[in-house]
Amino acid sequence: MDTNLHTASVPASSGLKQPYHLVDPSPWPIIGALGGFLTVTGIVVYAHFNTWWLLILGLVVVIGTAFMWWRDVIRESRTPGLHSPVVRLGLRYGMTLFIASEVMFFVGFFWAYFNFFLYPENVSGATTPMWPPAGVVTFDPFHLPFLNTMILLLSGTTITWAHHSLLEKDGRGLIMGLGLTILLGLSFTTFQAIEYSDAPFKFTGGVYPSVFFLATGFHGFHVIVGTIFLIVCWFRARAGQFNPERHFGFEAAAWYWHFVDVVWLFLFVCIYWIGASAVTSTSGP
């Protein structure tokens, strides 16, 4: 054998130290994709055949994948040397782009809403161009919607308190601020469920109900996701896994929660307030 040829075929190390790392091989991306496929297929099957089992299976796979995948991410973040400063910077870029994509997601709903709000003649079948369409009774914006607005604004204050407590090494303030934010998030979801249960219109009642429930419903889903995010951070804070120098998991949750707050302000002003009908309906207590 030609030893020179054999030696030349082995790639030589550059000897340079670099701040990046390759994550361990993971089954969760492909399993998560399968879960998403099963979920979407399950929605179609339920719509046509009124069968739930495929949708439930897909949701179980998606939720299980999310739990296991983020468990691995947390373990990776606690392994010394893996999350270097440049890796943490990349995580910040990733979270920023994710929130930007979420902004564009809601832009689509607002675009649809203002298409009908500014041009009510685009409403199919409307005899008199007006918005909301004739016969639609909307919510009183200064009843439960206003209460929920105050709840979310207060939650933005408590999550900021928690962040500053972390920076000041105040563990008690961090846990209390996170706990109050979680309780406020759960309160918002509860009041929105009460509002939906007393809605004076149904999802299938035309253009207005469809846009209303899609926009506010997806926001409510984001509130639930953000609340789960904060609950995980609360347990991590109790375990002492955050410090003033390294706490991006908490910081990302705070960014996401502030995004949820801002979207709700636009929903409240555009849909509940300026889009209210001449006669409104209250809901809940």
At 81 the pLDDT is 77
pLDDT of residue 281: 64
Q: Looking at domain 85-281, what is its CATH homologous superfamily?
A: Cytochrome c oxidase, subunit III, four-helix bundle (1.20.120.80)
Q: Is the pLDDT of residue 130 over 50?
A: yes
CATH class of 25-82: mainly alpha
Mean pLDDT of the 267-282 span: 83
Check whether 13 has a pLDDT greater than 50.
no
Residues 152 and 188 sit within 8 Å (Cβ to Cβ): yes
Give the model's confidence band at 6: pLDDT under 50 very low, under 70 low, under 90 confident, else very high: very low
pLDDT of residue 125: 63
Task: Give the residue extent of every domain in the chain.
Answer: 25-82, 85-281
Per-residue model confidence (pLDDT) at position 47 = 84
Each residue's pLDDT tens digit, 96-113: 999 999 999 999 999 999
Q: Does the pLDDT of residue 182 top 90, yes or no?
A: yes
Nearest Cα neighbor of 145 from 224, 230, 58, 220 is 220
**pLDDT higher than 70, residue 127:** no
70's CB contacts (< 8 A; 6+ apart) are 232
pLDDT at 265: 96
The mean pLDDT of 189-218, rounded to a whole number, is: 89
The pLDDT assigned to 5 comes to: 46
Residue 105 pLDDT: 94
Q: Find the radius of gyration of the CA atoms of the chain.
A: 24
Residue 172 pLDDT more than 90? Answer: yes
Q: Which segments of 198-247 does DSSP mark as H helices, in order?
A: 207-238
Average pLDDT, the chain: 87
Angstrom distance (rounded) from CA 242 to CA 166 = 8
The percentage of the chain sitting over the pLDDT mark of 90, rounded to a whole number, equals 60
Residue ranges in the chain assigned as alpha helix (H): 3-8, 28-49, 53-77, 85-118, 144-167, 171-197, 207-238, 248-267
d(CA 23, CA 68): 15
Confidence (pLDDT) at 50: 86
> Would you state the structure tokens that stand for residue 70, as one six-digit string?
């983020």
pLDDT higher than 70, residue 59: yes
From residue 221, alpha-carbon distances to 30, 126, 186 in Å are 24, 31, 12
Is the pLDDT assigned to residue 193 strictly greater than 60? yes
Q: What is the pTM of this model?
A: 0.84
What would the mean pLDDT of 198-220 be, rounded to a whole number? 88
Q: Is the pLDDT of residue 151 over 50?
A: yes
